[in-house]
Amino acid sequence: MVAKSRLRAVLASLLSGLMGLGPLAPLQAAEQLQIRFDGLDLPLNLQELEQWNAQPERSVGELARWLSLLDPASQLQLRQLLRAPLVKERSFTQQLLRSWAGRRVAEELGVLISTENGNAGPLMLSTLNGLLKQQQQVTTLELLRAVPAQQLNINLDGLQRLASRWRQQLDQQKQALAALQSLPLAPRTPLLPLSDGVLLERGSSLSLQAPRSAPSLRRLRVVHRLEPLELEIWSAPAAQPWILLMPGLGGSASQLRWLAQALHQRGWSVVLLDHPGSNEQAVRELLQGRRLPPGAETLRGRVLDVQAVVAAVQAGSLPRLGDQVVLMGHSLGGVSALLAVGLRPEPGLVRRCKRALADLPLINVSRLLQCQLPEVPLPAPQPLAQPVAALVSFNGFGSLLWPNRGLRGLQAPALLVGGSLDLITPPVSEQLRLFVPDANPSSRLVLIEGASHFSPVRIQGGEQQPLFRFGEELVGVDPARVQALILSLTSEFLQGLALPEGSRELPPQRRRLGGVSAYVLDQSLARQWLREVSARSSPVDPEAPPADPPAR
């Protein structure tokens, strides 16, 4: 693209030329586009822009002359942007725009797009919906021309500020990692061997061997769902807590089967739960235009699923796997576990969300789900049918739900695992700040260097191809290496549950395995890390949740 300085010069010259034409006559609906860039207000005629986009070599007028100053590559990119369909799958987009998250993002578009009457987000949403009733695809120009307003104002300065906040978050996470690396953590090696038929070291790589056993498949009828729950049960003879393992939003049991199998081969019974309505099948139905995108509204069903499965194990409707349960989940699965043990959002969530979503909620996407929760009728808190021995959360979140108490209300040790490259649930706000108030001395916080939100997910072959294949920019370092660390640390945390207080087998440490480093913190070191992060942070910390005012 053309350098910013040259683009500013082009826009300034164009603005000067247009201003020299005298007052602009009022135009018909959506004929005029006003762009704010670097403090300059640039009025553009949409009809002239459309003509230039169609035939730039034959286009005449002030706008065409100034756009010709852009280099050929920039002109081509601009034309491709204007011609590209905003919508390729009509039914999918219609469902997305009807969802809570879609409406919320549309409302917040007022930060970037407005009309002479104010926020244009809802107006753009309704216009796009109207166009989709008439045609399969909608381009950027078609949407701009169809908006029933005399003038559309696009705030590129606001977009730059949003991009700046995103860069600030990346810098914040780099600084947080540097602060973590400076903590006094002794290096340690795994206590449990990797050559147990689950993970084998081959040079610098790690691979999963063929399973020595397979799970039993069970269907559990529950009163809160029309269809029975599909369960994979990995039974082990050892008398220790069994594990209920839950995937995240849009995830499937197959994505976490590697972990269920590995934990089973290390002696634990595991039930792998696939939540209907918020699993991979639900996302497939979304892409086919058959349902709305799943969101926080699915948490009620997820909590009831957890209650039903634990009750069935206790009652004998499912195999009797043990007398205590460990709740373990990825992302929304971790939040489901916290809600299932009885935690509920602290008062003031609506107020906190109003401040947190003041800008486009793209810096921390998990806040969209957290801010939908006030509209979700969660079941009343009640004890599970079996005691909870521990809770393990991979890439979980809750900064807006529990900004002050954190995990203090959890009556069991917790293991929170995050990744330094996670931009969906940033580790400082969504794991560290949630962990610090926890008073349980056996709880641990783990950050894996180079891991992202999708590192715990394993895409395995099967009859049905996976919906998404994540690239390195989303997964981070080799997932097999990260998963080896997850298995190693999780196993030792769980093994320590049977030991007396004060002799847990997962001490604070720095562990390196397969070329990947993990940092294990207790409460004292977590507080020290937070102090270091705060000292290095900019005055406006993009990861910090909005604080509640002091109680009067």
| Beta carbons within 8 Å of 65's beta carbon, 6+ residues apart | none
Burial class of residue 55, CB neighbours in 10 A (0-12, 13-18, 19+): exposed
pLDDT digits (tens, 9 = 90+) for 134-145: 887 777 777 777
- Residue 167 and residue 125 in contact, taking contact as beta carbons nearer than 8 Å: no
Residue type for position 124:
M
Give the confidence band of 259 by pLDDT, cuts at 50, 70, 90: very high
Of 291 and 438, the one with more pLDDT: 438
Domain ranges across the chain: 4-159, 171-536
pLDDT tier at 168, thresholds 50, 70, 90? confident
Chain segment 55-73, per-residue pLDDT in tens: 888 887 777 777 777 778 7
Question: Which pLDDT belongs to residue 289?
Answer: 55
Mean pLDDT of the chain: 78
> Which residue do the tokens 């780099």 mark?
174
CB 295 within 8 A of CB 358: no
Could you tell me the two tokens for 365?
């996407």
pLDDT of the residue at 293: 59
Query: What pLDDT score was predicted for residue 294?
Result: 63
Q: Could you tell me which residue, 296 or 23, shows the higher pLDDT?
A: 296
Q: Average pLDDT, stretch 393-421?
A: 94
Residue whose entry in the numeric block shows the structure tokens 């390729």: 88
Tokens 């180079």: give the residue. Answer: 450
Q: What is the DSSP letter of 447?
A: E
Alpha helices in 404-471 (DSSP H): 427, 433-435
Instruction: Please give the pLDDT value at position 101.
Output: 54
As a whole number, mean pLDDT of residues 173-202 equals 73
User: Strand 270-274 vs strand 388-394: parallel, antiparallel, or unpaired?
Assistant: unpaired
How far, rounded to the nearest angstrom, does the alpha carbon of residue 475 sit from its chain's CA centroid? Answer: 12
Indicate the pLDDT class of residue 386, thresholds 50, 70 and 90: very high
pLDDT value of position 30: 55
Do 392 and 417 contact (CB within 8 A), yes or no? yes
| Rounded average pLDDT over 282-299 | 63
Query: Which range is most confident: 186-195, 274-283, 400-409?
Result: 400-409
Kindly state the helix (H) or strand (E) to which residue 205 belongs, with its residue range: strand 205-208
The helix/strand/coil state of 515 is: coil
Give 74-120 pLDDT, tens digit per residue: 778 777 767 777 665 555 455 555 555 555 566 556 556 777 676 66
Q: What is the enclosing helix (H) or strand (E) of 157?
A: helix 156-181
Both tokens of residue 54? 């169609």
What is the per-residue pLDDT for 282?
52
Residues 370, 299: Cα–Cα separation, whole Å: 11
What tokens were used for 352?
């906190």
Other beta carbons less than 10 A from residue 210's beta carbon: 5
pLDDT of residue 414: 96
- 350: amino acid identity, one letter: V
Other C-beta atoms within 10 Å of 101: how many?
20
Distance CA 33, CA 13 (A): 17
- Kindly indicate the confidence band of residue 332, based on its pLDDT and cuts at 50, 70 and 90: very high
- The three-state (H, E, C) secondary structure of 37-104, written as one string: ECCEEEEEEHHHHHHHHHCCCCCCCHHHHHHCCCCHHHHHHHHHHHHCEEECCHHHHHHHHHCHHHHH
For residues 151 and 33, the answer to whether their CB atoms sit within 8 Å is yes
3-state secondary structure 456-482: CCCCCCCCCCCCCCCCHHHHECCHHHH
Cα distances (angstroms) measured from residue 466 to each of 324, 394, 453, 547: 34, 21, 17, 40
What is the structure's pLDDT at 68?
A: 77
Indicate if the pLDDT at residue 443 is higher than 70: yes
Of residues 58 and 164, more confidence is placed in: 58
Predicted TM-score of the model (pTM):
0.74
**Distance in angstroms (rounded) separating the CA atoms of residues 291 and 94:** 10
Q: What are the tens digits of pLDDT across the range 499-547? A: 766 556 689 999 999 889 999 999 999 999 999 998 887 655 555 666 6
**Considering only CA atoms, which of 111, 177, 41 is closest in space to residue 536?**
177
What CA–CA distance (Å, rounded) separates 156 from 137? 25
| Domain 171-536 sits in CATH 3.40.50.1820 | yes
Place 21 in a pLDDT band, splitting at 50, 70 and 90: very low
| pLDDT confidence bin for 362, thresholds 50/70/90 | low
Structural tokens at position 163: 């991009």
DSSP state of 172: H
Give the span between the Cα atoms of 309 and 244, in whole angstroms.
Answer: 8
Q: Which of 188, 169, 175, 206 is nearest to 519 (CA)?
A: 188
How many CB atoms within 10 Å of residue 33?
18
